[in-house]
Amino acid sequence: AQSVAQPEDQVNVAEGNPLTVKCTYSVSGNPYLFWYVQYPNRGLQFLLKYITGDNLVKGSYGFEAEFNKSQTSFHLKKPSALVSDSALYFCAVRDRTGRRALTFGSGTRLQVQP
């Protein structure tokens, strides 16, 4: 069975500072990994995905994530946080065979203070 852990319910960061939202996963074999963001009263929006190749993936709004196979992690990062980045962030995983549906984590609320 596949699973995703987002160990922090909330991350607080000052505007302009770098941010990291943590994600670790468990899956059979090599994973496909995703990050989604949810703003209030909206559906989840795709940020980025890791399929293969370069471990550093760049996505929307200046976000990036690094795939680390040995640590089974896929942390989301941004060099300089904006107040408008405040939202709920979800990490998701899919294995390369079998079920095509994504398995999501419980979400991390990012609060960027001005």
Partner 1 sequence: EAGVTQFPSHSVIEKGQTVTLRCDPISGHDNLYWYRRVMGKEIKFLLHFVKESKQDESGMPNNRFLAERTGGTYSTLKVQPAELEDSGVYFCASSLTGPVHTSGANVLTFGAGSRLTVL
Residue 29 or 114: the one with the smaller Cβ distance to partner 1 is: 29
Q: Which residues bind partner 1 (CB under 8 A)?
A: 4, 9, 32, 34, 36, 41-46, 49, 51-52, 90, 94, 99-107
Residue 44 or 110: the one with the smaller Cβ distance to partner 1 is: 44
Least gap, CB of 84 to partner 1 (angstroms): 19
Closest CA to 55 of 79, 36, 71, 39: 71
Least gap, CB of 100 to partner 1 (angstroms): 7
